[in-house]
Amino acid sequence: REPVYLKDYRPPAFLTPEIELDFVLEPEATLVTSRQTFRRNPKGEGRELVLFGENQDLLALTLNGAPLPPERWRKESDRIVLLDPPDEFTLEVRSRIDPAANTALMGLYISNGVFCTQCEPEGFRRITYFQDRPDVMARYRVRIEADRSACPVLLSNGNPIDRGDLPGGRHWALWEDPFPKPSYLFALVAGDLACLEDEFTTRSGRKVQLRLYSEAANIGQCHHALASLKKAMKWDEDRYGLEYDLDLFQIVAVNDFNFGAMENKGLNIFNTSATLARADTSTDFDFMNVERVIAHEYFHNWTGDRVTCRDWFQLTLKEGLTVFRDQQFSADMHSPGVKRIGDVVFIRDVQFAEDAGPLAHPIRPDRYIEINNFYTATVYQKGAEVIRMLHTLLGEETYRKGIDLYFQRHDGQAVTCEDFVQAMADASGRDLGQFMRWYSQAGTPELEVRRRFDPDRQALTLEIAQRTPPTPGQEEKLPFHIPIRMGLIGRDGTPRRLQLEGENEPKGTERVLELTEPAQRFTFIGLEGGEPVPSLLRGFSAPVKLDAGYSDDELAHLMAHDTDDFVRWDAGQRLASNVLLALVGDHAAGRAPSTLDRRLIDAFAKSLDRAGEDPAFAARMLSLPSSSYLGQQMQVIDVEGIRFALDLARRELGRSLHGAWLAAYRANTDEGPFSIDTAAIARRSLKNLALAYLAYARDEEGQALVRTQYARADNMTDCLSALRLITETGMPESEAALASFYEKWEKEPLVVNKWFSLQAMIEDEAAPERVEHLMAHPAFTWSNPNRVRALLGSFAMMNLVGFHRRDGAGYRLLTDKVLELDRRNPQVAARLLSALGRWRRFDEHRQSLMRAELERVVATPGLSRDSYEIASKSLA
């Protein structure tokens, strides 16, 4: 359980230009033969060659055709070491693996009778002995042999070369991938799969066959994914000048998958949850998610596959950049402002919490015990924010030059984050030395803005100070290079032209201030018409917390007049947070008000008045801050206080604005056939939010609307919204509605997941018992990560009241189950465990209960590296 350190990186001792793999597939005893060519790496050190291998029986090992004598190699538990091999040679390794017993879903495993692989980050070593590190790139030739009736479809990366039949009902296929790739991008699929086909012609005229495979029963739900793929291919050409590079692009959807999807070269493997979409079974969120994930994995073809990571510390090189690209894509496909707000909500709710806890790490960590634990919101989403900041600092055109230079320099290579930023620096002529601190320092910077307006000089001075709190192992932080996109909104509601002291004339109404010092002053002059309200951090131009000392009037002014969607929305969130946190304070002091601050009701009324301008944006404006976001703003997270405040606010907003909600509900109810276009999604989002407030008011009219919607819904978004309200507000038909929902959808696993998840999220005191009871339901299984996440994940991450019940039943339940799961699937287990990581933020009583569970985890014999790392770091 020793950590691996970034500083210990050494180039590989050998290069492996070619590998031939031969699979004879049998569920319980698959034979794998690999033939690898080796050439000593002139940049490598040491005489030994280390080949990693796990969970396989090694049957034979030959070097240049002759068995390896015992004195030329040694075997350890997770590797073989060749002692001083020749400078060039071929090694043949024969081993046997057991895909049916592979419950960790890493390497070669079976999902619903389909053989499939997951090799990122270190799964290839469960298939054969190999150097298995991303800077070892080989050309692959893969032969697959299997039973013809069980596995009529045999797939691997690249191009199909040949295929044939064999005696005994067996057959084979040969695949070749012309692009050298790291082992983590290897993929194999074999099974009885249906196929949806299409074609895409690239802008240079290459005809690409598109094939999407799934179980036959699901193929009707794959059209949206295929259409999304074509949009993504076109977008990457238009926006980044990047074309697909093979004649075939394949996607396979499988049920059991540890993650959303995987970008294997030419053969993406997807979780069904990120592939299937049909109106009656999938929500609007699901449709958008499929489009996003399909695009994300496709974009990896360049940012990840063609240019890959030198080592796993560089994970954000491909993930941060690819998330940024998928965010741009979704923004272009839908509404940029609303998309940005959604991304900010995620960063603040999830990544900020991670950055403020014991598992905080920089986007490029410098050590890990188990790399699987670093597929985090920090590496992915904060990593994307870092790329976004480069984009903001350089501007679209120069950013694109930097991207072009990056590919020109590094196509076909395994590189570092420095290589990426250097390309940006060289393309722009800018010094990005200080900017690199975003890669090495963890924590969320806190910005404090002091304002001084001099009416005589008509000048506004902004003094902006930055400070980043300590994180584990990093007590002191150096100042970051922070872009602050901003404008000034006059008292009359119009944008002011911006002229900084020392400039000859005003330039535009928006600019990017660059903060590089611990504190800096910016003075704007020529401000006739009185003191404006600064609109700061437009578009959330940096992942920071900003305190600008706004008054309630100023927040209302920004909400009404700013030109930036993020700032308008954020002003509303600040106003709502102020009101809600005051309610939490009242509750803690034993005063339990029954009315809601008028300021919040008035602000909501104004937003509702304008809802017709942009229903999707209005739905965001009219959503209250999450309990996670509120909790982060408290010294000690007050579980009962947050619940009280949110309940009161929802009820009172529902009651006071009853007529307006009803009008919004009606105005956004579509009578025609279901449509999945952006405008229809927007209307449904506002309609269902209005329905929620009507239900929170708990009057007959609201409940009747919920009932009718549940009975008549022709799509899953409306159906699930109504069901959630029935259960959340405890309507009498709750049990019956849950039962009828299950009965209707029991054959659709992804819908059954929603059913589990919904019940796990009901915020009441009975939640731990309900969740435990549901684990005994015949449809519950530990072997499907989606199902485990739906029940246990939703409970631990999304049920504040239930999970944090004062007697510790929620913590005990999670720990008991995670320890069971850890033996089967450590990766999924460790992820769930992180729910206990924030224990220091709760009251002493809860702290001791959570700590005791973490101590129980660490003391468990045989615990995985994954869970050990999360639990031990949480306790440190």
Reply yes or no on whether 869 is catalytic: no
94 neighbors 24 (Cβ within 8 angstroms): no
For Zn ion, give the closer residue by CB, 79 or 410: 410
Question: Whole-angstrom Cα distance, residue 870 to residue 306?
Answer: 32
Segment near Zn ion (CB under 5 A); pick from 312-320, 599-607, 623-631, 686-694: 312-320
For Zn ion, give the closer residue by CB, 281 or 301: 301
Q: Does 305 bind ligand HT7 (CB under 6 A)?
A: no
For Zn ion, give the closer residue by CB, 293 or 690: 293
- Residues belonging to the chain: 876
Q: Does 20 bind ligand HT7 (CB under 6 A)?
A: no
The dihedral through the CA atoms of 337, 672, 750, 221 has a sign that is negative
Residue 870 interacts with, from ligand HT7, Zn ion, none (CB under 5-8 Å by kind): none
Segment near ligand HT7 (CB under 6 A); pick from 255-263, 479-487, 586-594, 805-813: 255-263
Q: β-strand 137-147 against 18-24: which pairing, if any?
A: parallel
Catalytic residue chosen out of the listed positions 120, 297, 319, 554: 297
Segment near Zn ion (CB under 5 A); pick from 311-319, 591-599, 748-756, 796-804: 311-319
For Zn ion, give the closer residue by CB, 322 or 381: 322
For ligand HT7, give the closer residue by CB, 300 or 574: 300
β strands within 41-193, DSSP E: 49-52, 57-63, 66-67, 73-76, 79-82, 88-97, 107-111, 114-118, 137-147, 153-156, 159-166, 170-182, 188-191
| Least spacing, CB of residue 188 vs ligand HT7, in Å | 15
Segment near Zn ion (CB under 5 A); pick from 28-36, 314-322, 468-476, 630-638: 314-322
Quick check: bond before 362 cis, omega within 30? no
Q: Does 368 bind ligand HT7 (CB under 6 A)?
A: no
Instruction: Compose the 114-153 pattern: x for residues touching ligand HT7 by CB under 6 A, - for all others.
Output: ----x-x---------------------------------
| Least spacing, CB of residue 855 vs ligand HT7, in Å | 27
| Least spacing, CB of residue 322 vs Zn ion, in Å | 5
467 neighbors 445 (Cβ within 8 angstroms): yes
Name the token pair of 76.
Answer: 């350890």
Buried b (16+ CB within 10 A) or exposed e, 139-152: bbbbbbbbbeebbe
Selected binder of ligand HT7 within 92, 256, 297, 822 (CB under 6 A):
297
Which residues, 372 to 391, sit near ligand HT7 by CB under 6 A? Answer: 372, 375
Query: Quick one: how far is CA 756 from the chain centroid?
Result: 21
Instruction: Compose the 319-338 pattern: x for residues touching Zn ion by CB under 5 A, - for all others.
Output: x--x----------------
Question: How far from 439 is each of 313, 384, 400, CA to CA, in Å?
Answer: 10, 12, 21
Name the token pair of 184.
Answer: 């983590």
Q: β-strand 207-214 against 248-254: which pairing, if any?
A: parallel
Q: Does 540 bind ligand HT7 (CB under 6 A)?
A: no
Question: Whole-angstrom Cα distance, residue 382 to residue 488?
Answer: 27
∠ CA 727-733-738 to the nearest 5 degrees? 60
609 phi and psi angles, rounded to 5 deg:
-60, -35
Question: Whole-angstrom Cα distance, residue 749 to residue 218?
Answer: 11
Segment near ligand HT7 (CB under 6 A); pick from 9-17, 257-265, 276-284, 562-570: 257-265
Selected binder of ligand HT7 within 115, 259, 298, 566 (CB under 6 A):
259
Nearest to 753 by CA among 729, 785, 776, 799: 785
Q: Does 869 bind ligand HT7 (CB under 6 A)?
A: no
Place of tokens 């008011």: 697
Residue 218 interacts with, from ligand HT7, Zn ion, none (CB under 5-8 Å by kind): none
Question: Whole-angstrom Cα distance, residue 34 to residue 61?
Answer: 10
For ligand HT7, give the closer residue by CB, 104 or 800: 104
Residue nearest to ligand HT7 as judged by C-beta position: 259
Q: What is the CA radius of gyration of the chain?
A: 28
| Least spacing, CB of residue 30 vs ligand HT7, in Å | 20
| Least spacing, CB of residue 301 vs Zn ion, in Å | 11
181 neighbors 141 (Cβ within 8 angstroms): no
Q: Name residues whose C-beta falls within 8 Å of residue 787's C-beta, 6 or more positions apart in sequence.
A: 749, 752, 753, 756, 779, 780, 781
Name the token pair of 840.
Answer: 């220091």
Nearest to 212 by CA among 162, 167, 155, 253: 253
| Least spacing, CB of residue 384 vs ligand HT7, in Å | 11
For ligand HT7, give the closer residue by CB, 322 or 628: 322
Selected binder of ligand HT7 within 319, 370, 385, 822 (CB under 6 A):
319
Residue 118 interacts with, from ligand HT7, Zn ion, none (CB under 5-8 Å by kind): ligand HT7
For Zn ion, give the closer residue by CB, 23 or 406: 406
Q: How many residues contact Zn ion, by CB under 5 A?
A: 2
For Zn ion, give the closer residue by CB, 322 or 815: 322
Active-site positions read 297
Binding interface with Zn ion (CB under 5 A): 319, 322
Binding interface with ligand HT7 (CB under 6 A): 118, 120, 258-259, 261-263, 296-297, 300, 319, 372, 375, 827
